[in-house]
Amino acid sequence: MTQHRNNRARESLARGGRRLAALMVASLCACAPDGLDPAPRGGQPLISENDDRKEVFEHESAWMRSYAEQATVALVDESFIGSDADGLPTLLDGPTLGEFLNLCPGERFAEQRRHAFCSGTLIDDNLVLTSGHCVPDAATCARTHFVFNDHYIAPGVRRPLSYTDIIPCREVVVMQAGDPDLGEPDFAILRTAGRVTGWHQPAPVRREAGLLDPGQHVKVVGFPYGIPAKIDMEGSVVNNSHRTNYFVSSLDTFVGNAGSGVYESDGYTLAGIHVGRTLLPGENLDYHPVARPGGGTCNTATVCSTPLCGTSVSMYVRPALDALCADPSRSQRLCGTGAPPNDACASATGLFTWLSRQQTFSGFTTAAEHSITPSCGRRMAAAPDVFYRFELTNPLLFYADAFTSDYPAMLFLMKDTCAASAIVACNAGACGTGQGQITRRLDPGTYFLGVSGNGGTRGRYNVHLQFLPATDTAVAIPSSGTRTVTGTTAGATNYRDATCGGGNSPETMFYFTTCPDYRGGTLRASTCNTATVTRATWDTVLYARQGNSPTEFCNDNACGLQSLLPASRLSPGSGVRAIYVDGAETGEGPFSMLVSLSSP
């Protein structure tokens, strides 16, 4: 059965190449649902100046990583979907990019396997936005599966998929496969087979009808040539009003990127759908053949020489939203009608407490009712609010912010019950934004996160969540500068062990919170003997974690039994980071630690 389906999958790749359509100038590529372009073709632009695509795990932006992990979907033909021993869906192997395109040694991503024929973005509990030419009819939808979380989590390590990551397409809700060359919209909004929120979260969508600014930075996440997801954040708008409904940018996109989500830099909202690429007169870009030393040829990528050639063409999302909201009942989230489903604590949306992974939740308070009057900000008894709920069985360090919301959204956190008297944290304006930010160590229990409006305001909100392991105590420190901190692990609880040492030793932690303009930087922590640090008499282990990244920095015994921890690539942007002091084997006791934090 598996071999038969693999044969069908390979046959579908060949069939798909015969159904490509040139949509703009010479090279807007429409990929058929049952396969992909079988070989490089002249006139198909790929890379603008430099290849800026990055794996999801290595990307600096926590916001873009969260959209790639939670909202980005690969559109995969049914011939690539198999079943495991329990009858649950799995993804069958496709050919490698190198095999399929006869790539030369050293070409990027040559060893990665291809499955996707197009890309898409989850925009509501059960709605996916993509290009209209990707899924032009109900028959195509019936053969299509949405695959979430198809990306790498470490060098050479592709994320294992769960059955919750592979969801069939149920129906075409609205679709227009227009001609972009005439300015006609090219989009499809598809319904998944059931709600997928809980495992995955929709991306926040730009609802404004206005144009992006010329020169504005944009980002794209999708499946170039059908390989696992990649992010490119180095594009900028070069034409913000191309054929009425489109904008042109310098993003690096390929076949398979059709339908990819294009995000604007100001609010990190989904602003466009990639539909293809265009060429300047006389340009002819592609993978091109070169001679092999031993005879024959192989293909290598051609890099565009200027930022204006080989540009990426994207459709603004507004025409798709207008078509969807012609019937407002199709999406309360996007059409803003009716009370949101999490308007009351009794119907609060459940959250996962995933560690070291930023989650993004968006919605509207526009039609919500008022339930709780928060204890901070310009409190208004008429301010509408919505609620989220999560449970902890172990202590965790909790982080939330409402940055990039369309209005001054405030946050408040309640324990055990929904009441003003149960509020344990509240913030109505952080980092000079007028929007809420909370960092707090939480004990086990049930918690409710409320989103309201400072001074009674309402609108579209974005909430970003992060969780880190917590110790018995958690001490906040400033996010920059150098200082000596002291403490003890004696008598504390052992919750986890460091990755580079440690055993059954207790640990304690220090943390710092950053604002949206944080540019990343370097952390250096040391228990080695210095003018301000007295060497501990027991074997210390130091490690650091970030709320928006799975990377752990760890050091043991850099100076005898003591540790010197360098962390040189802290993620930029808002969030929480923590330094943990642990012990090797069963070591514990008092310590002093020199901490230095710097940013470029």
Res 173: pLDDT? 97
Mean pLDDT, rounded, for 476-487: 95
Q: How far apart are alpha carbons 147 and 81 in whole angstroms?
A: 10
Q: Which carries the bigger pLDDT value, residue 91 or residue 35?
A: 91
Choice among 87-96, 141-150, 248-257, 268-277 with the minimum mean pLDDT: 248-257
For residues 344 and 371, is the Cβ–Cβ distance under 8 A?
yes
pLDDT over 70, % of the chain: 87
Q: Which carries the bigger pLDDT value, residue 392 or residue 181?
A: 392
Mean pLDDT, rounded, for 558-579: 90
Mean pLDDT, rounded, for 583-600: 91
Choice among 253-267, 305-319, 362-376, 481-495 with the minimum mean pLDDT: 305-319
Res 50: pLDDT? 64
DSSP secondary structure letter of residue 80:
G
Res 279: pLDDT? 53
Q: How far apart are alpha carbons 167 and 456 in whole angstroms?
A: 40
Mean pLDDT, rounded, for 290-300: 90
Q: How confident is the model at residue 288 (pLDDT cuts 50, 70, 90)?
A: confident
Q: How confident is the model at residue 310 (pLDDT cuts 50, 70, 90)?
A: low
Q: How confident is the model at residue 393 (pLDDT cuts 50, 70, 90)?
A: very high
Highest mean pLDDT among 105-109, 168-172, 525-529: 168-172
Give whole-number Cα distances, 479 to 10, 510, 547, in Å.
52, 11, 14
Domains of the chain, CATH where assigned: 2-324 (2.40.10.120), 338-469 (2.60.120.380), 474-598 (2.60.120.380)
pLDDT over 90, % of the chain: 54
Q: What is the model's pTM?
A: 0.75
DSSP secondary structure letter of residue 294:
T
Residue 31 has pLDDT above 60, yes or no: no
Residue 308 has pLDDT above 90, yes or no: no
Mean pLDDT, rounded, for 428-444: 95
E strand segments, 45-162: 47-48, 54-55, 72-77, 81-83, 89-91, 116-124, 127-130, 144-148, 152-154, 157-158
DSSP 182-242: GT--EEEEEEESS--BTTB-PPPB----SPPPTT-EEEEEE-GGGSSPEEEEEEEEEEEEE
Q: Which two tokens stand for residue 427?
A: 């913030």
Burial pattern 187-200, b for ≥16 Cβ within 10 A else e, equals bbbbbbeeebbeeb
For residues 89 and 82, is the Cβ–Cβ distance under 8 A?
yes
Choice among 31-40, 159-168, 233-242 with the minimum mean pLDDT: 31-40
Mean pLDDT, rounded, for 231-257: 85
Q: Which helix (H) or strand (E) holds 323?
A: helix 318-324
Residue 293 has pLDDT above 80, yes or no: yes
Res 4: pLDDT? 32
pLDDT digits (tens, 9 = 90+) for 326-378: 998 898 888 876 788 899 999 999 998 988 888 888 888 988 999 999 888 87
Residue 530 has pLDDT above 90, yes or no: no
Q: How far apart are alpha carbons 600 and 387 in whole angstroms?
A: 37
253: which strand partners? none
Residue 8 has pLDDT above 50, yes or no: no
Res 551: pLDDT? 78
Res 65: pLDDT? 87
Q: How confident is the model at residue 553 (pLDDT cuts 50, 70, 90)?
A: very high
Residue 312 has pLDDT above 50, yes or no: yes
pLDDT digits (tens, 9 = 90+) for 199-233: 888 998 988 888 999 999 999 999 988 999 999 88
